[in-house]
Amino acid sequence: MQQILETERLRIRPLSAEDSKFILELVNTEGWLKFIGDRNVKGIPDAIEYIERIMKNDQVFYNVFELKETNQPIGIVTLLYRDTLPFPDIGFAILPDFGNKGYTFEASRNYLDALMGNTSIQTILGITLPDNITSINLLEKLGLKYEGSFLKDDEELLRYGSNIKTNKRID
Task: Give the pLDDT of residue 171.
Answer: 40
Task: Tell me what percent of the residues of the chain surpass a pLDDT of 90.
Answer: 82
- Find the mean pLDDT for residues 22-34: 97
What is the C-alpha to C-alpha distance for residues 27 and 73, in angstroms, rounded to an integer? 13
State pLDDT tens for residues 120-148.
788 999 999 999 999 999 999 999 999 99
Task: Give the pLDDT of residue 1.
Answer: 57
State pLDDT tens for residues 52-84.
999 999 999 999 999 999 999 999 999 999 998
Task: Give the pLDDT of residue 18.
Answer: 96
Task: Give the pLDDT of residue 167.
Answer: 57
Task: Give the pLDDT of residue 121.
Answer: 85
- The answer to whether the predicted template modeling score (pTM) of the entire model surpasses 0.75 is yes
Q: Is CATH 3.30.365.10 what the domain over 5-163 is classified as, yes or no? A: no
Task: Give the pLDDT of residue 170.
Answer: 42
